[in-house]
Amino acid sequence: MSQLARIAEIVLPVFGVIALGYFSVWSKLLTEKAGEGLNDFVFVIAIPIMIVKTLLAAQLPEGSPWGYWLSYFIGVAVVWSFTQLVVWKIYGRPGREAVIMGFSSAQSNIVLMGIPLVLTAYGEAGAVPLFLLIAVHLPIMMLAATVMIESAEAGITREAIFKLVKNLVTNPLLVAFAAGSLGRIAGVQLGGAPKQFVDMIALAAVPCALFAMGMALRKYGVFGDLKLSLFIVAAKLMLLPLAVYLLAKYVFALSPVWHGVAVIFASMAVGINSYLLAARYKTGVATVAGAVTLSTMFSLLTVSFWLFVLGIG
- Cβ–Cβ under 8 Å, residues 100 and 284: yes
Residue 85 has pLDDT above 70, yes or no: yes
Return the HEC string of the chain. Answer: CCHHHHHHHHHHHHHHHHHHHHHHHHCCCCCHHHHHHHHHHHHHHHHHHHHHHHHHHCCCCCCCCHHHHHHHHHHHHHHHHHHHHHHHHCCCCCHHHHHHHHHHHHCECHHHHHHHHHHHHHHHHHHHHHHHHHHHHHHHHHHHHHHHHHHHHCCCCHHHHHHHHHHHHCCHHHHHHHHHHHHHHHCCCCCHHHHHHHHHHHHHHHHHHHHHHHHHHCCCCCCCCHHHHHHHHHHHHHHHHHHHHHHHHHHCCCCHHHHHHHHHHHCCCECHHHHHHHHHHCCCHHHHHHHHHHHHHHHHHHHHHHHHHCCCC
Among 51-60, 84-93, 177-186, the range scoring the smallest mean pLDDT is 51-60
Q: Nearest 5°: phi and psi at 178?
A: -65, -45
The CA angle 232-237-240, to the nearest 5 degrees, is 90
User: According to the model, what pLDDT value does residue 3 have?
Assistant: 63
User: According to the model, what pLDDT value does residue 249 have?
Assistant: 94
Average pLDDT, the chain: 84
User: According to the model, what pLDDT value does residue 48 have?
Assistant: 84
Q: What is the pLDDT of residues 246-286, one digit of tens each?
A: 999 999 999 999 999 999 999 998 987 787 778 777 788 77
Query: With pLDDT > 90 as the criterion, what percentage of the chain qualifies?
Result: 28
Distance separating alpha carbons of residues 222 and 128, to the nearest angstrom: 35
Average pLDDT of span 8-30: 85
User: According to the model, what pLDDT value does residue 165 have?
Assistant: 76
Residue 9: other Cβ atoms inside 10 A: 12
Average pLDDT of span 192-205: 87
| Domains of the chain from N-terminus onward | 3-309 (1.20.1530.20)
- Cβ–Cβ under 8 Å, residues 222 and 292: no
User: According to the model, what pLDDT value does residue 230 have?
Assistant: 94
Query: With pLDDT > 70 as the criterion, what percentage of the chain qualifies?
Result: 91
Residue 58 has pLDDT above 70, yes or no: no
Among 86-95, 160-169, 227-236, the range scoring the smallest mean pLDDT is 160-169
Distance separating alpha carbons of residues 180 and 202, to the nearest angstrom: 14
The whole-model pTM stands at: 0.76
* Angle between helix 47-57 and helix 192-217 axes, rounded to 10 deg: 140
- Cβ–Cβ under 8 Å, residues 122 and 261: yes
Q: What is the pLDDT of residues 228-237, one digit of tens each?
A: 999 999 999 9
Q: What is the pLDDT of residues 202-243, one digit of tens each?
A: 888 878 877 887 787 777 666 667 889 999 999 999 999 999
| Residue 46 pLDDT level (bands cut at 50, 70, 90) | confident
Burial 178-187 (b: 16+ CB within 10 A, else e): ebbbebbeee
